[in-house]
Amino acid sequence: MACGAGPAGEDEGSRAQRHKLFNLVQAMRMTGGVEGMVVECGCYLGLSAFVTCSYLRGDGPWKGEGYHVFDSFEGISALGDKDGLDDARIPIGKQTRRAGLFKTTLDQVKGSLAEFPSITFHPGWLPDSLAGAPDGPYRFVHLDLDVHEPTKAALEYFHPRLAPGGIVVMDDYGALRWPGVRDAVDTYAAARDTRVLPLSSSQALVFAG
């Protein structure tokens, strides 16, 4: 099953990635008993979706009903000013920060998630692809979009539609390479007095209002 976390050298199989996946599942456990759908925005090859779907399935016959995946399937979108495009202090990392990074195909992801044929896929760029999103409620939302503008759009759409007790997990909130994520979250949270819990894994939890 090809559902790696990132291109070779991007923490694939690393301890940091395992910590992220552990935290993702623990956050989902916190929403146990909450009614609503589950969303992932930015799936790459489908590893985190596979892990969360496997948790949701447990020992039952669940096949992905109520689980929604949003991805451009063209890689990340273009970086803007709030992503530190020209900031020399931002680490280069193993891959150059550029539009199209982490590109995969819908068929690849469907192959990774073949055990869950009832997942609904929403291919396209955010925010345009949100036109096909259900109005909610949502139990759990995982945003892994790397770039400011799609992160902002997804947070503004999904967070107000969380069910009471629902959670948004933000990937890369504390990542030096992706400063636009933190800017989008902090700006959103400050304007709405929303609770945000940063984690040592560079993720953050954004709780329902």
> Amino acid letter at 62?
W
Position 73 scores a pLDDT of 97
- CATH number at 160 reads 3.40.50.150
- Cα 46 off chain centre by: 11
Position 97 scores a pLDDT of 86
Strand duo 138-143 + 37-41: pairing: parallel
User: Encoding tokens for residue 79?
Assistant: 């970086």
Residue 102 lies in a domain: yes
Strand duo 204-207 + 162-170: pairing: antiparallel
Bridge partners for 71 per DSSP: 123
Residue 7 lies in a domain: no
Query: What average pLDDT is seen over the chain?
Result: 91
Residue 116 lies in a domain: yes
Could you identify the residue written with the tokens 């989902």? Answer: 28
CA-CA distances (angstroms) from residue 90 to 57, 68, 96, 168?
A: 39, 32, 11, 26
Q: What is the pTM of this model?
A: 0.90
Could you identify the residue written with the tokens 């609904």? Answer: 120
Cβ-proximal residues to 154 (8 Å cutoff; 6+ apart), any chain: 41, 70, 126, 127, 130, 141, 143, 145
3 state DSSP class of 7: coil
Residue 27 lies in a domain: yes
Phi-psi category of 11—alpha, beta or left, where left has phi over 0 and alpha has psi -120 to 50? left
pLDDT tens, the chain, 209 aa long:
334 444 333 444 488 889 999 999 999 999 999 999 999 999 999 999 999 999 999 989 999 999 999 999 999 999 999 998 777 677 666 677 888 889 999 999 999 999 999 999 999 999 999 998 999 999 999 999 999 999 999 999 999 999 999 999 999 999 999 999 999 999 999 999 999 999 999 999 999 98
Residue 188 lies in a domain: yes
Residue 2 lies in a domain: no
Residue 103 lies in a domain: yes
Enclosing domain of residue 184: 15-207
What b/e sequence results for 63-73 when a residue is b if at least 16 CB atoms lie within 10 Å of its CB, and e otherwise? ebebbbbbbbb
Q: What is the pLDDT of residues 145-164, one digit of tens each?
A: 999 999 999 999 999 999 99
What b/e sequence results for 94-133 when a residue is b if at least 16 CB atoms lie within 10 Å of its CB, and e otherwise? eeebeeebbebeeebbeebbeebeebbbbebbbeebbeeb
Residue 123 lies in a domain: yes
Number of structural domains (the chain) is 1
Position 88 scores a pLDDT of 67
Position 94 scores a pLDDT of 67
